[in-house]
Each structure stands twice: as C-alpha cells, then as structure tokens.
Amino acid sequence: MSKINSAPDHVRFCVRCGTVVSTRLVGDKMRKVCPRCGFVHFTDPKVGVGVLVINENGEVLLVRRTMRPEIGRWSLPAGYLDQGEDPKVTAVREVREETGLCVTIDGLLDVYHNPPEQEGASIFILYRGHVIGGSLMAGDDADAAAFFNLDALPDVAFASTQAAIIALQAAGDRRSQE
C-alpha cells in the first residue's frame, strides 16, 4: 500500500499570502504550513461521481475513456465533483455528456475508495439510475459508449467500477439461485 503524502513537494507557497511554506507536524501528519499567516495546506481528496445504468436486458452502460488515467479502458460514466456542486446533478450531467443519454437517479449504490496509485478520484460516489431519454452516442472524454452483458465485459478500469460490477454480478447470481 502506498503512503499518502500530506505535505506534497509541489506546494511551495501559501495560497493566502504568498509566503514560502514550511513542512511541520500538524495533528498526526506532516503538512505544509505558512510561517507568516499560519495557513495549513490540507490535501483534499478528489471526489468522483457516476451512475450505474442497467438496461431492460440487464446490460450495464460503460464508456471507453480517452483521458488519463486509464485511457482506452472502460468505466461507468462518471466525472469529478467540483466544490459546491450537487453530486446527483453532476452524475446525471456526466452521463449525458459521455453517452448522450438522459438518466434519472434511483438511489445511492455505494461510496468507494480507490487506491491512490490508480490516480483519478480517491472517493467515488456511485448512484443507480435509469434512462429516461436521449440517444446513445459517445461524447466528451469517451470515444465509445455501449451496454454490455455482465458475462461479456471489456477491459474495465478503476477498482470502484470493478467492485460495482462484481456486486452486480453477485446480486444476479443470488437472484438466479432463488
């Protein structure tokens, strides 16, 4: 497991007053601190949001990525959450931008932690949703969008996408055994 750097080298100046920062212990972690104004730089996690969409045939919607990380691999339609954005609104927008489909959120599926070495979002909020309109067409940072049978998936990116699909497959197996 990689160690998280709570005092990254690229943070050299205080964002409030421009003074050169130093590294010191704050609480239980080394952090960048301004000696002039006292500002402490906290390394905030990147938060991603996405939607798991299953069609009437039980197939899952995936997009092929054209952006780092994980270029060329498939993932759930998703994107970064900016400060002040509503996660549900952002998730719906990301699906529309990447797939051309309009969806509505049915509920929260799970919240995942992606390992830091994967880059991308360290926290991933996943909703379940269904299509209410639009036409399937790749866009934004995806060059392909398609529905896939859970038994015939392409090369899937991200620990969170993999975990969601494994949970979906397990739920399907439980239903078929009942």
Predicted confidence band of residue 57 (pLDDT cuts 50, 70, 90): very high
Predicted confidence band of residue 14 (pLDDT cuts 50, 70, 90): very high
Q: Which residue from 71, 140, 132, 138 is spatially nearest to 105, judged by alpha carbons?
A: 132
Mapping DSSP to helix (H, G, I), strand (E, B) and coil, where does residue 143 land? strand
What values do phi and psi take at 99, rounded to 5? Answer: -130, -15
For 116-150, the pLDDT digits (tens) are: 776 778 899 999 999 999 999 998 889 999 999 99
For the chain, what are the domain ranges?
A: 1-43, 47-177
1-43: which CATH architecture? Single Sheet (2.20)
Q: Which helix (H) or strand (E) holds 78?
A: strand 78-80
Q: How far is the CA of 68 from the CAs of 36, 48, 71, 77, 157, in angstroms?
A: 37, 14, 5, 14, 11
Question: Edge-to-edge, what's the strand order for the sheet holding 78-80?
Answer: 78-80, 47-53, 123-134, 101-113
CATH code for the domain defined by 47-177: 3.90.79.10
* The residue type at 78: A
For 25-47, the pLDDT digits (tens) are: 998 889 999 999 999 998 888 89
| Fold matches, 1-43 and 47-177 | no
